[in-house]
Amino acid sequence: MGKLDGKVAVITGGASGIGEAAVRLFVDEGCRVVIADIQDDRGARLAEGLGERATYIHTDVSEEPHVKAALGLALTKFGRLDCLFNNAGVGGVSGSIEELSVEGYDRTMAVLLRGVYLGMKHAAPIMRTQGKGSIISTASIAGIQAGYAPHIYSAAKAAVIQLTRSVAMELGEGDVRVNCICPGVIATPLFAKAVGLPPEVADQTVETIKPALANRQPLRRPGLPEDVARAALWLASDDSSFVTGHALVVDGGLTGGRQWSAAEKQSRLLRLTLGADG
């Protein structure tokens, strides 16, 4: 018996990275899934490989008709909507604050914040009518602490966290839960592109960047899409039925503070400098 038996989910950005891992895990756990993405070939292949439990629809989350269509497909094809995972993302505009274009700002916010808002807006009435549901959004540790991502990306993710908390206070009265996940550094094509690798080789490069990510956090291994997918599974399932308005950090301890070994090394160097270390 799967944790999501009988449930239906829409997962945006579901054709690759964290979204693909979530689609595969949700299907394995008994869920029927609408894969919503703009990567048509990849999304269609994923749905075909998963069989009758998955279907694909082209979805630009910055466009309201697209979001409505994706949620509507869940109803027409599978009869209900138990979970919306607002996961679609982009690295967005980057650079120093004086270099950032208004057009880049608008494009970044359209996907990272407006897309989440539109998903919540159109999932809410469906789930209220059902009397139950779970809305999950992908935020980031960049929305909690500065210095992990470009300015506008960080601001958008902070807004996703606060929007999650605010909407949870409204929808909780109808037994609709609203939570978000704050991943740390995760080995995905999006991360590969964010560090400057060409989009056409980002997929193939994910495996090669994993060793470089292993020591960035106290847990000495790279963060994987499956780590975030498992967090989404918990938030989508009845195991988290008393959890709402929560930002779940999945970062291997990265934001917990300075690593113990680094602190010890600095303390030892200070003692040596002061002549206090035997």
56, 117, 148, 153: which is the annotated catalytic residue? 153
Q: Is 56 a catalytic residue?
A: no
pLDDT by 10s per residue, the chain, length 278: 899 999 999 999 999 999 999 999 999 999 999 999 999 999 999 999 999 999 999 999 999 999 999 999 999 999 999 999 999 999 999 999 999 999 999 999 999 999 999 999 999 999 999 999 999 999 999 999 999 999 999 999 999 999 999 999 999 999 999 999 999 998 887 766 665 555 555 555 567 777 877 788 899 988 999 999 999 999 999 999 999 999 999 999 999 988 777 766 776 776 677 776 65
Residues 6+ apart with CB under 8 A from 28: 2
| Domain residue ranges of the chain, discontinuous segments joined by + | 8-273
pTM value?
Answer: 0.91
pLDDT at position 277, please? 61
Taking the C-alpha atoms of 153, 234, 17 and 167 in order, what is their torsion angle to the nearest 10 degrees?
-30
**Can you state the percent helix, strand and coil of the chain, rounding each to 5?**
55, 15, 30
Please identify which residue in the block is written with the tokens 């495996």: 207
Which is it for strands 32-37 and 247-250: parallel, antiparallel or unpaired?
Answer: unpaired
For 36, the 3-state DSSP assignment is: strand
- Within 10 angstroms of residue 241's Cβ, the number of other Cβ atoms is 11
> What is the distance in angstroms between the CA of the first residue and the CA of the last residue of the chain?
61
Token pair, residue 111, equals 């996907």
CB 224 within 8 A of CB 186: yes
Assigned CATH for 8-273: 3.40.50.720
pLDDT at position 258, please? 83
d(CA 23, CA 83): 12
d(CA 212, CA 209): 5
